[in-house]
Structure 1
Amino acid sequence: MNIKNKVLAIACATVVGLVACNEVDSTSETESADRTETAENTEPSTQKSSETQTILFFGNSLTAGYGLEPDQAFPALIQQRIDSLNLPYKVVNAGVSGETTAGGKSRVDWLLKKPVDIFILELGANDGLRGINLSESYANLKTIIEKVRAKNPDVKIVLAGMQIPPSMGQKYTSEFKEMYTRIAAEENVLLIPFLLEGVAGDPELNQADGIHPTVEGQKILADNVWEVLEPALLAEEAA
């Protein structure tokens, strides 16, 4: 092969090589674009699980942690469990000592100015201890639930059941307990059967007043809440 032909052969080989490289690069770019598109298509579901949602505990002195530090009240203990599972929820403690269902009905509008994803309603104990007519307590609790749903139809609501001492009279005591079961069924909300289960009446788990839980008592309250709340949180994450 003469020099001229060799030069032409080298030039042709170079051109073929460049075309081949361009084809590889083009394929790589196409694959990269495909991967990017797939990532973009899957991004919303990933983002959904990472968005922080709000759990609002709306109650009285039991929720507020009367006589204790804020981080010893059961809502704070629930936040610790949520964090340990890396779940995207932020707990807000909106407990006010002495709160009745009537007071809660008036106060809830202000709290609903910010989005709430899970609403835990813990009210009624003060109504019972004061002997308030149960028809009023029932109507107030229903109204609170209706207000919460009006702001966010997709909100999950948990109702904390309560019981009162038999000294209030057998009929009143029985009807008070059944009020929570009735509301839970009518409003289709989750129910904690008795928030103070395992704590009420135990001197070692209550402060000197015999009503408000100690630090150890609050831990049991957190267990009672978590038994109902955890499955709801995990189901929401799996959805």
Structure 2
Amino acid sequence: MTARRSPLALLIAALVSVSLVGCTAAAGNPFSTTSTPVPTPTSSQHSVTAAAIGDSIAIGNGVPAEDAWPLLVAQRFGWTLSDFGESAAGFTAKGLNTHIFDDQVSAVIRVHPDVVIVGATRNDVFAPTATLKQAATAALQRLRAALPKAKIIGVSALWGSDATPAQIPVISQTVKAAVLSVGGSWVELGQPFTGHPELVLADHVHPTVQGQKLLADRISRVIAADLAKA
């Protein structure tokens, strides 16, 4: 009798195969939006569930919902995604529906996914670093306690096409520490839109469809490479 593998084990196996080609995609052009090759979906891959915690960039504000980078990443790997992102929200900042990321954590716990993507956000720019550290650490610890087997993936904060304030990398490092402290992994994007207004909307913040695809491609490659090492 063949032993049944867990959804996360199947996910890792699928992404390892993707990483063999995905890690070299767009190597010659940092602003290329060439997509990471998509594995052929199988019935086992469809059983992998994922959830996203994030802000307006993570829900694709200003572009069609199907072009938001978390959904694009999910499609690359055959995941079923629940995106709980909310405009203006952060670990310390209330979103348009008055929720902070800890509220999104509660929503994620209810669906019990195999993978959780957590996007650090510029919306926490006005929070003291100590306050952000406390909020991010508490939210990530609660997430891990409720989902001990989930793969948690953190993604660095984005600013836009204008010059990036010094607090933005501090936000990313603070959230990164919280993610790594619960055994998660980290995707460092840097600021791919700085000086590239063609990749963001007129507000200089939210990515265009091309910008969203660029994020999805970079994030997919890092995730695949990280899981290949596991």
TM-score, reference length from structure 2:
0.70
Alignment equivalent of 2:209, drawn from 201, 205, 215: 215
Residue in 2 aligned with 1:92?
82
Give yes or no for contact 2:84–2:104 (8 Å, CA) kept in 1. no
Q: Which has more helix, going by share of residues?
A: 1
Gaps of 5+ in 2: 11-43, 93-99
Q: Tell me the alpha carbon deviations over residues 186-233 of structure 1, each in whole angstroms, 9 at most, x when there is no partner.
A: 333211112x64224411000000000000000111012112222456
Q: Which has the higher contact order (CA 8 A, sep 6+)?
A: 2
Aligned-pair CA distance for 1:139: 1.5
Residue 199 of structure 1 corresponds to which residue in structure 2?
193
Which shows bigger deviation, 221-230 or 60-69? Answer: 221-230
Larger radius of gyration: 1
Q: Does 1:179 align with 2:169?
A: no
8 Å contact kept, 2:49–2:113: yes
> Does the CA-based 8 Å contact 1:163-1:176 persist in structure 2?
no
Q: Are residue 53 (structure 1) and residue 23 (structure 2) matched?
A: no
- The change in CA–CA distance for 1:58 and 1:173 in structure 2 (over 3 A counts) is closer
Unaligned 5+ runs, structure 1: 1-40, 84-88
2:73 counterpart of 1:69? no
Amino acid at match of 1:189: G
Task: Give, in angstroms, the shift of residue 154 of structure 1.
Answer: 1.0
Structure-1-length-normalised TM-score: 0.68
What is aligned with 1:124? 121
2:221 counterpart of 1:227: yes
CA distance in 2, matches of 1:145, 1:46: 23
Helix, strand or coil: the match of 2:89? Answer: coil
Q: 2: distance between equivalents of 1:115 and 1:181?
A: 22
Q: CA deviation at 1:118?
A: 0.9
Identity across matched positions, percent: 23
